[in-house]
């Protein structure tokens, strides 16, 4: 997990503090913690919820980074760049 983007990386612990976690989102198999995400889908952004345990696994594999200013402005200030490209994660707004 090394590349030239390491200057933007944050720890998983810090990410957990910053993520806007939905504690009881239910996809049909019982409520579990999820986070709203955005991913580029052609000319549009596709929004979905991603299970927190899967986010942690992806962050361990790919790393988790600070997103850019535009993503922060729409409260999706963290990003995991996996094999499908960037997935922006919902973050808490300013305190």
Q: Where are the domains of the chain?
A: 6-89
d(CA 16, CA 10): 10
Task: Tell me what pLDDT residue 4 has.
Answer: 60
Per-residue pLDDT of the chain (95 residues; tens, 9 = 90+): 445 667 889 999 999 999 999 999 998 889 999 999 999 999 999 999 999 999 999 999 999 999 999 999 999 999 999 999 999 999 997 65
pTM: 0.88
Cβ atoms of 49 and 35 within 8 Å: the answer is yes
Cβ atoms of 81 and 74 within 8 Å: the answer is no
């Amino acid at each position: 997990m090394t590349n030239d983007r390491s200057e933007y990386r944050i720890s998983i612990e810090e990410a957990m503090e910053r993520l806007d976690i939905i504690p009881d989102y239910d996809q049909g198999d019982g409520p579990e913690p999820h986070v709203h995400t955005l991913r580029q889908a052609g000319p549009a952004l596709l929004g979905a919820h991603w299970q927190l345990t899967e986010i942690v696994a992806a962050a361990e594999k790919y790393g988790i980074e600070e997103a850019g200013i535009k993503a922060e402005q729409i409260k999706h200030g963290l990003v995991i760049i996996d094999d499908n490209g960037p997935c922006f994660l919902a973050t808490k707004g300013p305190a």
